[in-house]
Structure 1
Amino acid sequence: MKTSTDPIRDYLHAVEREARALPADRRQELLADLAEHIEVTRAERPDITIAVVLAELGDPRTIAATALAEAGSGAAGAPADPARGGAGAPARQGRVHPLIPLVMLTLSLPFMMVFPDLPGPLIGVLFRITGAVLLCTSVHWTAVHKTTGVLLTAVLPTAVISAWNLSSGGPAGDTPALLANLAMLALLAGTAAWLWRARRA
C-alpha cells in the first residue's frame, strides 16, 4: 500500500473533502487560509514538526463543520470568511475579535491594583470571567491553547491572590504585594502575547 509523503497536502485534501458542501469559492478560501496559517506557523516556529502544526489546527471534520456553520449564519448577508475574521466578519457572524478576550484578561489585574476599593475588584473579576468565557468560545484557538490560557490568566491568578489574602504567614508590607502583582501582570501579558501569536489566522 502506497503511503503519502505530503501530510500537509493530505490534510488540506481531507478538509476539502469534508467541506464539499461549501460553495467552491468559500472552500478554496478556507484551504488558502489554512495553507497560509501552516506556512506562517512553520516560519515563526522552525523547530515545530508538521504533525504538531496539523494537530494544533484540529480535526479536518471540525474545521469543515465550523466553516459550514459560519457560512450558514452568513448566508443572509455578505459572504462569510470561514477561516479568519475579516474586516466585517465579526459583526456578520457574531464572532468576537481575538484581541478582546486577551485585553480583558490582561486588564483584570490592573483594575484591582489601581482601584483596590470597590468597584475596582468587581470590574477586575468581571473582566476575568468574561475574558475567559470569550477565550473558551472563540474559534481562533485550539482546545489546548484555550485550556492553557484560562489556567494561566484566570485560574492561577485567582488562586494566588486568594491564597495571599487568606494566608497569615505571607510577607507583610506594600513592596512584596507590589512585586507579586507585577509578576502576575507579567504572566498575564506574556500569556496574552503567546495566545495572540498562536491564534488561528
Structure 2
Amino acid sequence: MSTKEINEYYDSTENRAVREDLIYALSLVGEERIAIDCGCGAGSDISLLRSKGFEVYAFDVEDESINRCRKRFKGDDRIHLSKDDFSTFTYPDATLVVADASLFFCPPSQFDHVWSKISHSLSSSNGVFCGSFLGPNDTMASSDYDKEAFWPEVTVFTEDKLREIFSGFKIEKWEEHKVSGKTAQGMDHNWHIFSVIAKKI
C-alpha cells in the first residue's frame, strides 16, 4: 500500500472498538500478564492490553506504526516496541500472543518457522493465542489479486491445514467469516477469515 493508504488505515483504526475475541482471550489468561502484539499498527490493542495490566512486546514492519506508537505510549516502560517482521522479531516468553489480521502477511516459506517461534513463546502453562488467518476464498488469496499494489505474498489456510497447526492447543473459540463488501479504498472484496482463540496444552 502507499504511504497515504497506510496513514489512512492507521487513522481509522487507532481508536477502534475493542474486539470481542480479544476481550474473551483476556479472560483466559492467568495472573502473569505478558503479551506479544504481532503487527501492532496504530496501537489500539496495546492500549487495551496495558489497561488490563499487561507488559506488552509489540512489533510492526511499518515505520509509521512504530513512530505512532512511540509517540502514543511515550514514557511507558512496560511497552517494548520494535520495527520487525515475523521472522526477525525475537519472541519473549509470553502468556498471550495477539495476531489479528497480521499473520496473513507472513510469507508462506517462512510460516512454519514463525509459527514454531510463536508456539514456543507460549511455553508457560495455558498460554493463549488470539488471531486470524486467511481462507482460500478471500480476494487476497486469488491469482488475480494485485500483489504489487497491496502485498507481495500472503499465507492462505484451508480449515484442515489450520487445525493441524493447532494440534498442540485446546481450541477455545473458532469462527469462520465469509463476507462480501468494499474495502476502505472502495474496492470490491470477498473476505474469508478464520478467527481462532486457543490455549497451549
Q: TM-score, normalised by structure 2?
A: 0.22
Larger radius of gyration: 1
More helix by share: 1
More strand by share: 2
